[in-house]
């Protein structure tokens, strides 16, 4: 049972490049979320999903897209990377009534 | 006002000390409450849920005061391994969990 798997663990992008951060869970959880964590800012919600085919915006959605075509996968797409998107990104999943399980994170640097 | 507020610390305490963290939340409709622990450069992990009657897990005690919208975490007999950031988390309905910015604890030998 792998839990929540995020790939890649590290990534360096050039300004303007696009990429997809992958998140997969094998626990059949309904709810999945993407957070970014910056020093002094805590965890900020980017996008979330309450089930396959359903997504919604969080606190800081600009510059990011998500989709949820299957229960297992919830990829986060950076459309045109900017230095302000340098951060640590965490994916998390949970079942109704249960707390979150987090992936190990993706450390992204945009130069 | 942020939905969840915590004292950022850092709290620097000697081994064996008792330390308490506080957290306030602004939305009275919040239904579930948690404390997470986050080690440096790692993902947050659930430490314990917080129940209305208060609950204890070994050296850790969590309390909830719904009237004051206040949550606390007490750590007794602090260990070096308790050094981490402690995140207060609230939740309601089908919305995502809301995290406080965390309180940093350093336990010193």
Residues in Cβ contact with A12 at an 8 Å cutoff, skipping those fewer than 6 apart: A108, A109, A110, A111
Q: For chains A and B, count residue pairs whose Cβ atoms are closer than 8 Å.
A: 45
By CA distance, what is B8's nearest residue in A? A40
Q: What is the pLDDT of residue A1?
A: 60
Structure tokens at B15: 């081994």
Model confidence over B11-48: pLDDT tens digits?
999 999 999 999 999 988 888 999 999 999 899 999 99
Q: Name the DSSP letter for residue A73.
A: B
Q: Which residues of B touch A43 (CB under 8 A)?
A: 44, 87, 99
Rounded Cα gap, residues B89 and B5, in angstroms: 10
Model confidence at B83: pLDDT above 90? yes
* Strand residues in B9-57 grouped as ranges (E): 11-14, 19-25, 32-38, 45-50, 55-57
Contact A42 B46 (CB under 8 A): no
What is the model's pLDDT at position B28? 87
* Tens-place pLDDT, residues A27-49: 999 999 999 999 888 899 999 99
Q: Look at A42 and B97 and tell me if their CB atoms are within 8 Å.
A: no
Contacts of B100 in chain A (CB under 8 A): 42
Residues 6+ apart with CB under 8 A from A15: A81, A82, A83, A110, A111
In whole angstroms, what is the distance from residue A104 CA to residue A4 CA? 8
The pLDDT value given to residue B2: 79
**pLDDT the model gives residue B19:** 97
- Flag whether pLDDT at A6 surpasses 80: yes
**Residue B82: what are its φ and ψ, rounded to 5°?**
-80, -10
Contacting A with CB below 8 Å, chain B residues are 32, 34, 36, 42-46, 49, 87, 89, 94, 96-102
> Which of A42, A103, A104 minimises the CB distance to B99?
A42
**Does A99 contact B87 at a Cβ distance shorter than 8 Å?**
no
pLDDT tens for residues A65-103?
999 999 999 999 999 999 999 999 999 999 877 788 999
Q: Helix, strand, or coil here: A110?
A: strand
Most A-contacting residue of B96, B98, B104 (CB-CB within 10 A), to test interface? B96
| For B104, nearest residue in chain A (alpha carbons) | A40
């Amino acid at each position: 049972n792998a839990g929540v798997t995020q790939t890649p663990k590290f990534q360096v992008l050039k300004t303007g490049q696009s990429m997809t951060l992958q998140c997969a869970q094998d626990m059949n959880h309904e709810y999945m979320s993407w957070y970014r964590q910056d020093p002094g800012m805590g965890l900020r919600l980017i996008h979330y999903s309450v089930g396959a085919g359903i997504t919604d915006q969080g606190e800081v959605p600009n510059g990011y897209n998500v989709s949820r075509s299957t229960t297992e996968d919830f990829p986060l797409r950076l459309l045109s990377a900017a230095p302000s998107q340098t951060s640590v990104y965490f994916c998390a999943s949970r079942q109704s009534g249960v707390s979150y399980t987090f992936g190990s994170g993706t450390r992204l640097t945009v130069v | 006002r942020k939905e969840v507020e915590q004292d950022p610390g850092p709290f620097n305490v000697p081994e064996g000390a008792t330390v308490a963290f506080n957290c306030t939340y602004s939305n009275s409709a919040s239904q579930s409450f948690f404390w997470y622990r986050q080690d440096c450069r790692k993902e947050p992990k659930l430490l314990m849920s917080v129940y209305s009657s208060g609950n204890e897990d070994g050296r850790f005690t969590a309390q909830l005061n719904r009237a004051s919208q206040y949550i606390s975490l007490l750590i007794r007999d602090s260990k070096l391994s308790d050094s981490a950031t402690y995140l207060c988390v609230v939740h309601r309905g089908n919305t995502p969990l809301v995290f406080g910015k965390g309180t940093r604890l350093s336990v010193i030998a």
